[in-house]
Structure 1
Amino acid sequence: MSDEQEAEVAEEEETESQDGLQEGDFISLDYTARTVEDDDLVDTTSADVAEEEGVEAEGREFGPRTIVLGAGHIFEPVEEDIYGKEAGDEGTVTVEQAFGEYDNEQVRTVSADKISEDDRYPGARVNVDGQQGHVETIIGGRARVDFNHPLAGEDLEYEYEIVEEVEDADEKAKGLFSMYIDADLDMWIQTDEVEEEVEDEEGETETETVEKETLYIEATPQLSMNQQWMFQKQQIAQDVIDRLDLDRVIVQETIEGGGMGGMMGGMGGMGMGDADIEEALEDVDVDEDEIVEELEAEGEDEDEAAAEDADATEE
């Protein structure tokens, strides 16, 4: 086989290897994860599976998850198994020690005073000095706490189905946000025309109208009070901007009219604005010298009255 033929074969093999889903693709994924040793349910997107296992469903939303391949949204062995597949394909993958090895040194004795009285019992999830763990035993004023991940050392089995490849930009945005924030948010992407000051080659600035791809998010109390959003909004927004090739993210709050707020706004409108006051002053014919003379005359009259009062007192 000639060098040219070998190059063509290599190119064909590389093209074939790129068929199907690849890094950076957005997919909708159904999955169920269980421990290999005890077959305990760890996570699932299926409401039926959760019900069979007696999992408390209140406050949780079940259904396929939108993820980005290669973004660390699922375990790497699962991603590797998905690459090259298509919508409708299924698979089963074993993830060895998904949450790391079990470390005996992470089991430590601490003062029971560092644990809330309500959590001083075996099995309680606690936070000690900023580290999460669970209580193994409490004897006297000492507590034995395991700071390993609850699933450390466990192998997990993932059963998954690729529901579809996600193409809609709005759905991609919602999927990305769901990785960070467990809240049902209204969001949409639109192209805005924005006026900006730009500098030309000669260093002079001029106003130009530019287009910006913008993700709008309707703010909700759940979003405003979400701690991860409060402390990481810049990083979250930047991740969405980079992955969806956007220019900006705008979080907007809608306040409905009516009520006392609307009444106060209406009452404020009855008053005079700055422009009205200036116009009114301009209409008044005021002579500054006359005002000064009147003030001085009033001062002299007051002095004379005070002197007369003093004389009358002496008499």
Structure 2
Amino acid sequence: MEVLRGVAQVDFMPSAVCGMFFVAALFAGGRQYDVYGLLGSAVGTGVAYGLRLARDAVAAGLHGYNGCLVALSCVVFLRSGHPATVAVAVLGAAVSVVVTAGLGAVLDTWKLPPLTAPFCLVATATTVAAPGFRRLWRDAGTPAALPGPATGPTGLTWEQLWHGFFANVGQIFFLPQWYAGLLFLAGIFVASRLAGLLAGAGSATGLATAWALGAPAEAVGQGLLGYSGVLVAMALCGVFVAPGGWSAAYAVLGAAGATVLTPALAAVAVPFGGHAFTWPFVLTTMLFLVAVPAIPRLRRI
């Protein structure tokens, strides 16, 4: 159960049933995603138990979700079929537990959660180092990489619009398939109707923001700009901030900001894959959470 909750906690859901939906979505995207995602969550959970970290946090999956994402990033950016990649996925998932504990201790001063920052740090370090190892690096571009300067048509077709809505949810796990995103969104709704509505609002905000600013239609349709907005919207209304009309508006504003930030961070990451990971979500959410005590209409949970 803890392993399934670890997968579900990528989207803040401490639900094993939600985790089952997520595992089905990973399998729909490709068997290797399913295997690596479960492996990463299992390793993170096992290491956390071995280090005797708080059992309630481990049982809730809070030490499995970063490991899950680290392992999935290995599928996308490294040679997923090579034993060396499996070893790196296991090592990275284990290291993410230590990074989570360390960041949690540091960020507790400001009452901030580590979010997916441990995943971002480990995955960034791995992809930067990978070109130096022949058994790990693959030269071909990946479908999760955001293009550089905006090129190509910006007008969205109806198909790209609704594909992008679901792909925004799937791209949190590096999956651009709309049907995988649909399964992820269904899992969120099963765990929490409010979280499902906020995930949908974050995705719609990401789509609207990217389109309004003239992002390439292909990138928008693949969910490459709106995925962080999905996480930000959930985080700022219901997860870390008390739900309500003002926090919902705050969440939408944060989702738009994360969408704008995504291409900037992706451009910085071009030398090692061109992916912003979930840095836009992490940075935006932390800044917005720091501001909450100064805003009388909002209240931290």
Report the TM-score, using the length of structure 1 for normalisation.
0.20
Q: Please state which structure has a larger fraction of its residues in strand.
A: 1
Q: Please state which structure has a larger fraction of its residues in helix.
A: 2
Rg larger for? 1
